[in-house]
Amino acid sequence: MTPRPSDGATSASGPEPEVWFSAVEPGVLAVSWAADVIATDVRQAVGAVLADGQAERVVARVPVADRRGVSIAGRAGLRKEGVERGVPGLGDVVRLARLAADPEPTTAEGFRGVLNAGLNRTRVIAQVLVTDEVGRVLLCELTYKTYWDLPGGVVDPHESPAAGAAREVLEELGVEITVEDLLVVSWLPPWQGWDDACLFLFRAVAPSDVVEAAMLEHREIAALHWCPPEDLDEHVADYTARLVRAALGATEPLYLEDARPR
């Protein structure tokens, strides 16, 4: 649950209310509730203050460890917006909110909205294995990494991996390279502070003079290099070397975990 506010709070109704509201800013109320409250009471109380115009937005902060509290907030129609770290007196909390314009949480549309907001998010990375006419691999010498890497990057929300790969290549290299078929999907475990991710690796072929024609995004890429497959270990991380070799030897799309067969 969220703590009961000490000052400036109003109750939902009744002599012994279980749901309280306090003003955060104009049009925004924070909701709190008692430990033994049921989700229906919170939903009705939140719906009432939004319906009668007392607020356009109702927010809650629930400690991350309070799974029941997060569930109650969701069933009351509050959608997860993120995690705030180190809130004084609360620690790490889940921030949730319901807007006056949101569909009722008892409707199918409202239920989907709450559920979608609470689902885990896994990063999607799209890279391109670009080879030339003699089989060399195109690598980017990056300004922020010791190892060279394949062209590509993180896919934007609501963008397909193939579209993200093409966009990243154009942004980084300044030349259009046709992104072809999928070679590998590799799940990446958490690593050095990064959460897990799914990497999509696509095929492309380019002439060797693309290195000279490229207009690099110099904040990220210092230079381009053609690298024979046998020299990969000298320039790329172990993971990347495994990924490229698996892709070069594949006769059909592969599923890998950490660039290794399952």
Kindly give, in sequence order, each residue whose CB lies less than 8 Å from that of residue 181, ignoring residues fewer than 6 positions away.
202, 203, 253
Supply the pLDDT for residue 48: 96
In a 3-state reduction of DSSP, which class is residue 149? Answer: strand
**One-character DSSP codes across 175-205:** S------EEEEEEE--BTTBPPEEEEEEEEE
What is the residue extent of each domain of the chain? Answer: 9-118, 123-261
Put simply, whether the predicted model's pTM sits higher than 0.75 gets the answer yes
The tens digit of pLDDT for each residue in 24-55 reads 999 999 999 999 999 999 999 999 999 999 99
Q: Does 123-261 match 9-118 at the fold level?
A: no
pLDDT, residue 69, reads 96
CA distance 42 to 49: 11
Q: State the architecture of 9-118 in CATH terms.
A: 3-Layer(aba) Sandwich (3.40)
pLDDT in tens, 229-244: 999 999 999 999 999 9
Write down the CATH superfamily of domain 123-261: Nucleoside Triphosphate Pyrophosphohydrolase (3.90.79.10)
Taking only the tens place, the pLDDT of each residue in 72-105 is: 999 999 999 999 999 998 899 999 999 999 999 9
pLDDT at 191: 85
